[in-house]
Amino acid sequence: MSRLKKHCIKGLIFFTISFSLLSCKDQQPVWEENVFFPDHEKLKSGVVNKYYIHYYSNDRFESSTDIEYQEYIIKDEKRIILKTYNAGLELTNQMNLIYEDQQFNIEKEFTTFRNDSIYKTIPHKTMINIKRDSFEYGYEFEFENIVKRKHSKKSIFLKDTIIENSKSKIISAQYNTENYFLSNNDTTITNSEQKEYYVSGLGLFEKKGNNNKGDFHVELIEQISKSAFEKRRKNDFKKTPDLPIDKIKSENPSFYFCDPNAFVFDYYYGKEKGGIAGGKKSLWLVLKKELNPDLLNDITGCITFRIIINCEGEIGWMNHETYTLDYQPTTFPIKATEHLHSILANQNFWKPSLIQDEHKDTYIYLTFKIKNGKIIEILP
């Protein structure tokens, strides 16, 4: 399957997350008391939501996880911009919206592929109608005589609820996407039903749904300030040549890059994704054997490790970030972070991505979610 085709298909599920709109009390109409938006004070200075997107095949034999970021930008008193980035921190979509007649309508929208901007024709422009449960959104585009795409979304109902002790809402919607690949006259059609969960002060908190290929689950994992996100993009670990060589080799003195230019692929590229051989089950078995639970004490929060693996499956560089379950930066005891770091660094179960039948140097993410001193989940 071509990279473009994978790009089109993979983008179907999360791409429509982009109707999670922003609001600002001073500059934008407050819609439903910010249930659908991040915290008001964070919006004023800029905020980015980070999401894990889990996919499960119908037979449950296959599963995978991707990462996406949503950036909220206030343009003026009526206009907002929503940008979507992939796990490599590359812009994949931008939507410009205007608030008018008690609804959010799209002024323009484009997606990106190979650094090209592909603008969309939008016959149904309403993303949200705040006076009605039902509304419709749709777009069409064609890319370089390679693919034509049609997409539509119809909301079914909106329901009040409580999540994390906060005022929340659930939106249920139906989606239909058709991709027509001109090169081989191949057509793919994806129909899905989704429920989206919004929490006051956080915006989109969770999304669950299914289509003809399986189930998917989107979850908010971190909120990042705009300044921190821009710093992260600038220092994207994919740009490995910008990192000091002695720092890259500190985990393993014999480490080397297979690529002569030290170019590292993100884990989600390729026929086989990079990560852990045997999946998370292998890591759980290691933790059962090697983890000292006393070192975690009463820690509650998340720690994310970022790891570079060469084509031979060797670790060459690893760092970490810690944050609370509310997605705010925090610190863990040094002994705890060093213990988890050491466990990962001493394993030999790492596997690089397989791209065009060749293993490539790979950059992966790994998050431990900890509650009251116990690891309750490993992501992705």
- Render pLDDT for 130-182 as a digit per residue (tens, 0 to 9): 666 677 777 887 776 667 888 888 877 778 889 888 888 888 888 888 888 77
Question: Does residue 362 have a pLDDT over 50?
Answer: yes
CA distance readout (Å), 112 to 118, 139, 370: 6, 15, 36
- Render pLDDT for 168-201 as a digit per residue (tens, 0 to 9): 888 888 888 888 877 677 788 888 889 999 898 8
pLDDT of residue 263: 76
- DSSP at 315: E
Write down the H helix ranges in 257-363: 280-290, 334-345
CA distance readout (Å), 260 to 256, 311, 367: 10, 12, 30
Compute the distance between CA of residue 261 and CA of residue 258 in angstroms, rounded to an integer.
Answer: 9
Cβ neighbors of 309 (< 8 A, separation 6 or more) are 274, 315, 316, 350, 351, 352, 361, 362, 363, 364
Write down the H helix ranges in 167-275: 226-234, 245-248
Task: Write down how long the chain is.
Answer: 380
State whether residue 181 is helix, strand or coil: strand
pLDDT of residue 233: 78
Least trusted range by pLDDT, from 12-21, 185-194, 360-369: 12-21
Handedness of CA 284, 289, 292, 297 (dihedral sign): positive
Q: Residue 339 — very low, low, confident or very high, per pLDDT cuts 50/70/90?
A: very high
Compute the distance between CA of residue 18 and CA of residue 2 in angstroms, rounded to an integer.
Answer: 25
- Render pLDDT for 278-323 as a digit per residue (tens, 0 to 9): 778 888 899 999 999 889 988 999 998 888 888 988 887 788 888 8
Question: Does residue 269 have a pLDDT over 80?
Answer: no
Please check whether residue 299 is in contact with residue 360, taking contact to mean a CB–CB distance below 8 angstroms.
no
Residue 334's CB: how many other CB atoms inside 10 A?
A: 8
Question: Does residue 328 have a pLDDT over 60?
Answer: yes
Q: Residue 61 — very low, low, confident or very high, per pLDDT cuts 50/70/90?
A: low
Higher pLDDT pick, 128 / 246: 128
Please check whether residue 176 is in contact with residue 12, taking contact to mean a CB–CB distance below 8 angstroms.
no
The rounded Cα 292 to chain-centroid distance in angstroms is 31
Mean pLDDT on 217-245: 72
State whether residue 162 is helix, strand or coil: strand
Summary mean pLDDT of the chain: 78
